[in-house]
Amino acid sequence: MKKARPTSGLVLQALFNILGPGAGKSFLDLFSGTGRVGLEALTKGFAPVVLVESSKKRPTELAGSTSRRELEILAMDVRKALSLLENQGRLFDVVFADPPYGMGWVTRIASTRFRLEAVMKDKGIFVMEHSKREVVVPAQWDGWSFRTRAYGDTLLTFFQKNN
């Protein structure tokens, strides 16, 4: 199992400052790893919060750390989770992804943008944390607008579907 790389405090603070209050909003955390981002979303008022982590061990640890009903943990591959959530008709205000760096996920996620769109509310936002060495290619996000904020070697890219 690859070691989880938790989101830094600076990036976490910046993310939630940009997103604003979470009351009445739902949050999907893809590649949740340690669960730090999803758990922070709960403290900011987001509910429900769904964490997706492919490692079978990490979600078990997360489940033991909280008993909140607003938190759901899916121990499965991100692509399968998106398909499941789409089939269930689940929609989220914020979808956050922090895939492993340097493994081609920035491009792979672009290829799942239709699945992302299917689980996002109309005014929903998709946020991807990634390394500055992994470039978001605008042509892969046709029909979406995005902006990127840099925090050292870490980038937060905010995507919204053009209506």
Hey, where are the domains in the chain? 30-161
Which 3-state string (H, E, C) describes 78-89?
Answer: HHHHHHHHHHCC
Amino acid at 123: K
Q: Among the listed ranges 7-11, 42-46, 114-118, 126-130, which one has the minimum average pLDDT value?
A: 7-11
92-97 and 144-151 as β-strands: parallel, antiparallel, unpaired?
Answer: unpaired
Query: How many C-beta neighbours within 10 Å does residue 123 have?
Result: 9
Q: What number is the average pLDDT over the span 101-120? A: 91
Q: What is the pLDDT of residues 53-91, one digit of tens each?
A: 987 665 545 555 555 678 999 999 999 999 999 999 999
Predicted TM-score of the model (pTM):
0.90
Q: Identify the pLDDT of residue 8.
A: 80
Residue 1 has a pLDDT of 43
Count of C-beta atoms within a 10 Å radius of residue 25: 21
Q: Which CATH architecture has domain 30-161?
A: 3-Layer(aba) Sandwich (3.40)
Tell me the average pLDDT across 14-24.
95
